[in-house]
Chains A and B, each alone.
Chain A
């Protein structure tokens, strides 16, 4: 267009991040990637390992229920990831010097919910894979692209189209990204972010239901 970019009729106001520095949205946004990739993969391999090495026979032969087995496998990974999350918070605030402006309980509860989902996704992957290679690859393929490209980290989630829009909506990363960037940089809390928590809870319920349905108490 031949018109000059500067203008006398337009006055932009840059909200939340007046200098438009990418670190204020990318660094908190990366929480959604890190808290997805590592826990889902570790949990998936953790269970499939038992299948491949044979120790899952203990579960098949014991009177343990499915849920006991699943939660017993999941809880250690939740604890490990929660510790990682605390370390990450320190890194974001002190190393990258991103000021925290919003509601801290809102971020922590969102992140905890997200960790339960990402480890739960790992359990779901472990129900349909038999080898550790397959579990490793499945966890990678299922989480890598959606958490980087479809979460809003590279292009805003509201601008996605077609299949990408659909995948972005059913994958939890965009909701944690909203919570994380919202609480860190936008300085908001539960009231504005409520739909993100609702979405995360729906996703968790779906994942948990699928896992219980797919987990076989006895190997065929």
Chain B
């Protein structure tokens, strides 16, 4: 397990996706309106794929920008009636640094 510093907390914009690539893994980081930060794989589980960073963020969810699936940023689950799941990553915040545990 490693803990990787990926961003500066105070510089993250609210309700916007921050895209990072770590070792070929694309990750979308989101700072929610309540200040929490969530990280999920930047790839929609829709059969035709698509990125998530540019999606509309609403509360604890992001809407896939390409096919409008609603995805939970808490557990990565696609909301009914669609189905699927995106990988989530644990996030740590310490002294204004944002870390991803993977």
Mutual binders A and B: no
The residues of A with any CB-CB pair to B shorter than 8 Å are: none
Interfacial residues, chain B to chain A (CB-CB below 8 A) = none
